[in-house]
Structure formats: C-alpha cells, structure tokens
C-alpha cells in the first residue's frame, strides 16, 4: 500500500459467532496493538443516525430508544428493509472508520469485523485473520455467556457464511480449540508471519 508511514498495514479479524474473535482482539490490545471494533463504530453510527432510523423503523423504538433486538427481528427476514438499514448505516460506519484510522499513528492496525467476508470488507484490507473453532464449542460458549438457546445461536450461525468458506478466503486461520495459552501461542505465531510478510519489526 505504498509509504507505510502514511498507509499502515490493516488486518481484519473475523470469525463466526462464538469463535473467540473478541478474545483475540483483547489480547492484541493488551500487547499494545491498536484494534478498532466495527460493532462499536456501528453503535456510534446508529446514534448519529437515530432520527433517520426512527423514521424508517418506528416499531423498533420504545420510549424514544432503539431496541436493537427488535430492529434485528425487523430486518432479519426482510431483504428490502435490511438494505435500507445498510444503506443508511454503512456510509456512516465507513466515515467513522476513516476518522479513527487517520487518528491512529501505528504501522499495524487491526479491525474486528464480525461480517468481514459477508460484507466484502476484505477488498479494503491488507490481510484477514479468521478465528476458527468447532461449531459445537462455539454454540456452547455463546449459550453460556448470552442466555440464548442453542437453537437461537444456530439460527445466527446459519445467517453467516459457513466457516469452511471463510477458511478458504482468510489470509491466516487461528485455531481456537484449546485454552487461552494455546490461543496466545497461535496468535503470536501469526503476528510473526504478519510482521515478516510486510517487513515490520
């Protein structure tokens, strides 16, 4: 991407529900790497576009506040309304992301993007890191932390691109089948490969 002082290496982190991508992002932050969370930017975008959201999806508001679960239910099975939501929010998310990237002065930046491949973000990145785990383990993790039923978790899983397809597309795959120590070791190995690939010290 040219002059690295002006154009940092940007790596996307993704993974299906319950894969451990947020744990990987937290590890990177603890090691001093800047990590931007696209979900946080999306929350800011929703707040910035609250008036427009209320006009488009009045039934998703209760007491003047947006009910994210109600909004998700509205668009989940309605492609037209989903497109209207994305057309409203995606440009704002990209604007906020550009602001954040301009603010950060670092040679290597990570973006945590849940729907990275589904939404075509890989075309804007220097590389992609998939955090992968068996579906049974991912369902168990999400049920334990969220209160969702296994059926609800599997419904969300089916709404995402299959992990097998993401494995084919990802630049690097980090297996998250064991404990935190194994995850850290695997992540450090991939970091070394990223640094070698892009000539980072």
120 is in an annotated binding site: no
Superfamily of domain 1-34+106-196: P-loop containing nucleotide triphosphate hydrolases (3.40.50.300)
Can you give the pTM of this predicted structure? 0.89
20 is in an annotated binding site: yes
Residues 30-83: pLDDT tens digits? 999 999 999 999 999 999 999 999 999 999 999 889 999 899 889 987 999 999
- Per DSSP, 31 falls in state T
77 is in an annotated binding site: no
Per-residue pLDDT, 1: 39
Residues 93-126: pLDDT tens digits? 999 999 999 999 999 999 999 999 999 999 999 9
171 is in an annotated binding site: no
124-142: b (≥16 Cβ within 10 Å) or e: ebbbbbbbbbebeebbebb
Instruction: Count Cα atoms within 13 angstroms, Cβ side, for 51.
Output: 1
Residues carrying CATH 3.40.50.300, the chain: 1-34+106-196
- Reading the block at residue 175, the tokens are 């297996």
- Reading the block at residue 76, the tokens are 């989940």
23 is in an annotated binding site: yes
């Amino acid at each position: 991407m040219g002059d690295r002082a002006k154009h940092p290496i940007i790596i996307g982190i993704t993974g299906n529900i319950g894969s451990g991508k947020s744990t990987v992002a937290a590890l990177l932050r603890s090691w001093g790497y800047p990590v931007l969370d696209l979900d946080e930017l999306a929350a800011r975008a929703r707040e910035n576009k609250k008036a427009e959201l209320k006009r488009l999806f009045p039934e998703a508001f209760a007491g003047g506040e947006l009910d994210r679960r109600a909004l998700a239910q509205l668009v989940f099975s309605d492609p037209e309304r989903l497109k209207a939501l994305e057309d409203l929010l995606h440009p704002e998310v990209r604007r906020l992301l550009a602001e954040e990237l301009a603010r950060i002065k670092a040679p290597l930046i990570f973006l945590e993007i849940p729907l990275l491949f589904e939404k075509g973000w890989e075309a804007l990145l220097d590389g992609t890191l998939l955090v992968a785990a068996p579906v049974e383990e991912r369902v168990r993790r999400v049920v334990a932390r969220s209160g969702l039923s296994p059926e609800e978790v599997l419904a969300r899983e089916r709404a995402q691109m299959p992990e097998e397809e993401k494995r084919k597309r990802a630049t690097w795959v980090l297996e998250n089948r064991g404990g935190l120590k194994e995850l850290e070791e695997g992540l450090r190995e991939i970091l070394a490969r990223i640094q070698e690939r892009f000539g980072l010290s």
